[in-house]
Amino acid sequence: MLFNSLDFAIFLPLVFVLYWFVTNKNLKLQNLLIVVASYVFYGWWDWRFLSLIIFSTLVDFIVGLRLEKQQEKTKRKLLLLTSILVNLGFLGFFKYFNFFIDNFVAAFSFFGYELQGRSLNIILPVGISFYTFQTLSYTIDVYRRKLKPTRRFIAFAAFVSFFPQLVAGPIERATNLLPQFFRKRHFDYEKAVSGMRQILWGLFKKIVIADNCAQFADHIFAHSEAMNGSTLFLGVLFFTFQIYGDFSGYSDIAIGTARLFGFNLMRNFAFPYFSRDIAEFWRRWHISLSTWFRDYVYIPLGGSKGSKWMQIRNTFIIFIVSGFWHGANWTFIIWGALNALFFLPLLLAKKNRKHMEIVARGKTLPSLREFSGMLVTFLLTVFAWVFFRAENLPHAIQYMGGIFTNGTFATPSFSGMGKALPIAMLLVIFLIVEWRGRKGDFAISAVGTKYTRPVRWVLYAGIVFLIGMYMQTQGTPFIYFQF
């Protein structure tokens, strides 16, 4: 079920009414309703894959209880290993089986040995990378004794399957989200209004920005061999805003929807394209994933402590693993490695935590130095996105080469150029709104306190009008559903 679909527009109010007006006096019933609603929401794509969520839920619930009782170190490690193998085993089979088979056969062919590998027609379950990491956070934190295991199965099942963030995050930590299922929730009007405002902005980013940028990015990438360098650069610029509008838009809708039901999800984006260096960018982009890898992979490896070699090793591991998490394609691995290369000089110079505050705080415009840092960081990010978006490595190399060797400074030209100009103007307005709202959790978060009611409603009506005007005839799936 897509957030930007008629199905969800009917589903959400129905669940909201049942939640607050039917089950509101019984916490267990509220949690049970969330589980049922979440399974319906997920099963809308394919009911067969509900068995994976249910099995992971059962395994990690039981492992958590056994970890509490077990004091012997070796047996505790075996219990944790069971959870890791089950969860990553599912993820590895559905997402990476064919990748490893194909590359295994290719490696032997390179040395003159012909093997007959057989790929399987495997359907990737939607959101498996997200809920797998979420439930793993529970067993790891219980193993580390940072969290007491729960004996409330319904509450735990609701935590694993919570529908607003089930298929594309934010990837919640058990220490943050799970305790919220144990507490009685009361309807908060101001919180609900704020949630609706964030949903509205998320829909704008998805429907107006991402979906319209997608049609131009898709066209240019699909016909890249026939495009000049400036058009290719324009194509990756459109993709740059597509992926931001698409993914951060989903996060906004998820966080806003959760707020309607009395839950607080972690922030997932903090205006990353206003970052002054790559380290700051990764503190602001897909925060729930980058902090997950930091806490559960990077720090256990030694983090930024130890020798320079260890710091370099750990940096490349974390970025390459992050790239591979996105998909079974060498393009994602190269994308991760590129970001590691961009990040490494900052780490070695101990400047990776230089920009912790938001840019131009208390000022209308950034300084020349801040603007230069933002521009360089943005361009580095844009060029890395070429590998993320390309179909394969040869396509990425051809695309990147075309930018610099085939009319780099020529006038951009492609068949949809006329339609792209209004979208380019909307992108400028979008950036201005984002810049002005960069102090908040999302761009229009301060609208409720900054403007009078008539002005607020005019702004809301304007956003709704743009959504209706630029909505595609068919709902476009979110990019991160494939991960």
Distance between CA 81 and CA 151 in Å, rounded? 21
Per residue of the chain (483 residues), give pLDDT as tens. 788 888 899 999 999 999 999 999 999 999 999 999 999 999 988 888 899 999 999 999 999 999 998 889 999 999 999 999 999 998 888 887 766 565 555 554 555 555 555 555 666 778 888 999 999 999 999 999 999 999 999 999 999 999 999 988 799 999 999 999 999 999 999 999 999 999 999 999 999 999 999 999 999 999 999 898 999 999 999 999 999 999 999 999 999 999 999 999 999 999 999 999 999 999 999 999 999 999 999 999 888 787 888 989 999 999 999 999 888 889 999 999 999 999 999 998 889 989 989 999 889 999 999 999 999 999 999 999 999 999 999 999 999 999 988 777 777 778 878 888 999 999 999 999 999 999 999 999 988 778 888 999 999 999 999 999 998 876 677 777 666
Q: From the candidates 286, 326, 355, 395, give the one annotated as an active-site residue.
A: 326
pLDDT at 112: 58
pLDDT at 479: 79
Q: What residue spans define the domains of the chain?
A: 6-187, 191-276+355-482
Catalytic residue list contains 326: yes
231, HSE (Cβ side, Cα atoms, 13 Å): 22
Distance between CA 62 and CA 5 in Å, rounded? 36
Distance between CA 303 and CA 313 in Å, rounded? 10
Distance between CA 353 and CA 77 in Å, rounded? 34
Rg value, the chain, Cα: 23
